[in-house]
């Protein structure tokens, strides 16, 4: 069972506050680009190159903002990338502490099973496609649920409100359409 | 090196808390999105409110560095990207952060989400020049703006209202909405249905 919303929300708020107090607001989706860049640069080493005053790339997206992303690709041991790796450690430890997930739940969530049956391929195709659309959308928007919605709205950023309006305008109708039965 | 240590400490805490509020479980995400169980929405609203009140309060008292703020640019693509993300979020039950955490908790379907996500991010990297040319990325309403004008911040205000007071008020507003929101909007709980 998840934490009571008051305890959970308070803890989550404290983490977002700690991040902005000590370093900078939390964000995640950029690191998908950085990992892509790391892999692509390993395959074709000329993708990211060092210049006199920093880094640049043959890919226009990695090269934008004075090579900010190109620099991160060249130095994976940076705050934002390590942060996402650490999130996985935190998730793993938390799951371990609550006794781990049941075998059926590891394959697919209960609500999906109730609505779409237990065909694994169907679930995996849906999550793969979902992941593609989520990250394409997050990069077009310039951030995701963490960076735009939570960190953004917390800072009263106009962009955070625009993002949240778009995300919920699509997410609620799609979810209502897809998940008619309750788990 | 200190900054890497902070990345580890805050990252571990964030991953663990996301899991404990239920955000790593797609059943719980979709119960929020299809409005049958709004407990997660209440957690998120409370978190935004608490974060906001502490940050703006701390800035006013002088112990939070205003320079740590990082405001993203507003442009039409933010809304369009939000729509795409929202659709994929509802379909999969994962967003970028919770998908990564869910994979670490042992969810196999989250690995497919991450694989799709890496491909989606790569597709954006390749198509970025056409988005730039389309004008969808051109800033609107001043771009990197906050709703009020925050003293000492490097960002402009959309209005001349005092930004830190507005931040406190909105933060308290988020907390109030978290408390006011019902636990569910749609239908009635299964156990409340009359027997046939």
DSSP one-letter string for A3-55:
PPHHHHHHHHHHHHHHHHHHT-----THHHHHHHHHHHHHHSTTSEEEETTEE
Query: Which residue in the set A94, A108, A132 is minimally distant from B116, CB to CB?
Result: A132
Give the position of tokens 């906001």.
B52
Mutate to test the interface with B, among A18, A175, A177 (most CBs of B within 10 A): A175
Which range, of A28-37, A147-156, B179-188, averages the lowest pLDDT? B179-188
Which residues in chain B are contacts of A77 at CB distance < 8 A? 4
Question: Does residue A143 sit at the B interface (CB-CB below 8 Å)?
Answer: yes
Query: So what's the pLDDT on residue A78?
Result: 93
Question: Does residue A141 sit at the B interface (CB-CB below 8 Å)?
Answer: yes
Query: Which residue in the set A139, A155, A164 is minimally distant from B121, CB to CB?
Result: A139
DSSP B149: B
Question: Does residue A17 sit at the B interface (CB-CB below 8 Å)?
Answer: yes
Query: Which residue in the set B27, B113, B126 is minimally distant from A131, CB to CB?
Result: B113
Query: So what's the pLDDT on residue B192?
Result: 46
Residue B33 CA to chain centroid, in angstroms?
14
Residue window 105-134, chain A: list those with CB within 8 Å of chain B.
105-112, 123-134
Query: So what's the pLDDT on residue B190?
Result: 52
pLDDT digits (tens, 9 = 90+) for A7-27: 999 999 999 999 999 999 999
Query: Which residue in the set B28, B83, B113 is minimally distant from A170, CB to CB?
Result: B83
Name residues whose C-beta falls within 8 Å of residue A93's C-beta, 6 or more positions apart in sequence. Answer: B12, B16
- Tell me the mean pLDDT per 10 residues along chain B, length 196: 93 97 96 95 97 96 94 96 98 97 97 98 96 95 94 93 95 97 74 47
DSSP A161: H
pTM over 0.90, yes/no: yes
Distance from CA of B4 to the nearest CA of A (A): 5
pLDDT digits (tens, 9 = 90+) for A158-178: 999 999 999 999 999 999 999
**Chain A residue with the nearest C-alpha to that of B107:** A106
């Amino acid at each position: 069972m998840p934490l009571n919303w008051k305890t959970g929300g308070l803890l989550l708020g404290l983490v977002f506050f700690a991040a902005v107090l000590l370093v900078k607001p939390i964000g995640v989706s950029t690191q998908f680009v950085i990992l892509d860049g790391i892999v692509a640069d390993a395959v074709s080493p000329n993708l990211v190159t060092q210049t006199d005053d920093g880094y640049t790339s043959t890919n226009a997206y990695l090269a934008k903002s004075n090579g900010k992303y190109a620099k991160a690709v060249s130095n994976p041991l940076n705050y934002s990338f390590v942060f996402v790796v650490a999130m996985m450690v935190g998730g793993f430890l938390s799951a371990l502490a609550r006794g781990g997930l049941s075998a059926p739940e590891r394959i697919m969530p209960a609500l999906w099973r109730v609505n779409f049956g237990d065909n694994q391929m169907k679930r995996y195709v849906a999550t793969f496609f979902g992941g593609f659309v989520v990250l394409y959308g997050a990069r077009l928007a310039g951030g995701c649920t963490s960076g735009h919605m939570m960190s953004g709205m917390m800072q009263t950023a106009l962009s955070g409100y625009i993002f949240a309006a778009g995300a919920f305008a699509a997410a609620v109708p799609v979810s209502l359409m897809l998940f008619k039965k309750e788990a | 090196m200190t900054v890497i240590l902070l990345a580890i400490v805050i990252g571990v805490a964030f991953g663990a808390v996301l899991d404990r509020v239920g955000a790593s479980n797609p059943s719980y995400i979709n119960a929020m999105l299809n409005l049958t169980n709004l407990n997660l929405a209440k957690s998120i609203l409370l978190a935004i409110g608490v974060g906001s009140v502490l940050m703006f309060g701390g800035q006013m008292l002088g112990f939070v560095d205003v320079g740590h703020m990082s405001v993203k640019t507003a442009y039409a693509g933010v809304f369009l990207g939000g729509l795409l993300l929202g659709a994929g979020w509802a379909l999969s039950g994962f967003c970028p952060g919770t998908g990564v955490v869910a994979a670490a908790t042992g969810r196999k379907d989250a690995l497919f989400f991450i694989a799709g996500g890496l491909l989606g991010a790569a597709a954006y990297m390749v198509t970025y020049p056409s988005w730039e040319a389309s004008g969808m990325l051109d800033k609107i309403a001043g771009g990197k703006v906050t709703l009020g004008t925050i003293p000492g911040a490097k960002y402009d205000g959309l209005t001349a209202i005092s930004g830190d007071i507005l931040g406190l008020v909105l933060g308290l507003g988020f907390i109030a909405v978290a408390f006011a929101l019902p636990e569910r909007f749609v239908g009635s709980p299964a156990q409340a249905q009359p027997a046939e």
